[in-house]
Amino acid sequence: MKHVAFALLASTALTGPAVAEMLDLEKDQLTFGFIKLTDMAPLAVAYEQGFFDDEGLFVTLEAQANWKVLLDGVISGTLDGAHMLAGQPLAATIGYGTEAHIVTPFSMDLNGNGITLSNEVWEMMKPGLPTDADGKVAHPISASHLKPVIETFNSEGKPFNMGMVFPVSTHNYELRYWLAAGGINPGYYSPENVTGQIGAEVFLSVTPPPQMPATLEAGTINGYCVGEPWNQQAVFKGIGVPVITDYELWKNNPEKVFGMTAAFTEENPNTTLAVTKALIRAAIWLDENDNANREEAVEILSRPEYVGADAEVIANSMTGTFEYEKGDTREVPDFNVFFRYNATYPFYSDAVWYLTQMRRWGQIPEARPDSWFDEVAKSVYKPGIYLKAAQMLVDEGLADAADFPWDSDGYKAPTPAADIIDGIPFDARTPNAYLDSLPIGLKGTQKVVGNEVQG
| Strand segments (E) across 207-328 | 223-227, 240-245, 256-261, 321-323
> How confident is the model at residue 22, as a pLDDT?
86
pLDDT, one tens digit per residue, over 170-214 is 999 999 999 999 999 999 999 999 999 999 999 999 999 999 999
Q: Is the pLDDT of residue 17 over 80?
A: no
How long is the chain?
455
Residue 381: which residues within 8 A CB-CB, separation 6 or more?
Answer: 103, 104, 346, 347, 348, 350, 351, 410
Answer whether 243's CB lies under 8 Å from 94's CB.
no
**Structural domains of the chain in order of their starting residue, each with its CATH number:** 2-110+254-403 (3.40.190.10), 113-252 (3.40.190.10)
> How confident is the model at residue 20, as a pLDDT?
60
Q: How far out from the chain centre does Cα 352 lie?
A: 14
Distance CA 360, CA 383 (A): 26
Mean pLDDT of all residues in 67-93: 98
> How confident is the model at residue 10, as a pLDDT?
40
> How confident is the model at residue 384, as a pLDDT?
98
Q: Is the pLDDT of residue 230 over 60?
A: yes
pLDDT, one tens digit per residue, over 283-308 is 999 999 999 999 999 999 999 999 99
Mean pLDDT of all residues in 371-400: 98
Mean pLDDT of all residues belonging to the chain:
94
Distance CA 218, CA 156 (A): 19
Mean pLDDT of all residues in 414-424: 97
pLDDT, one tens digit per residue, over 336-358 is 999 999 999 999 999 999 999 99
Q: Is the pLDDT of residue 403 over 50?
A: yes
Distance CA 276, CA 43 (A): 11
Distance CA 387, CA 57 (A): 20
pLDDT, one tens digit per residue, over 107-140 is 999 999 999 999 999 999 999 999 999 899 999 9
Distance CA 280, CA 399 (A): 9
Distance CA 361, CA 194 (A): 11
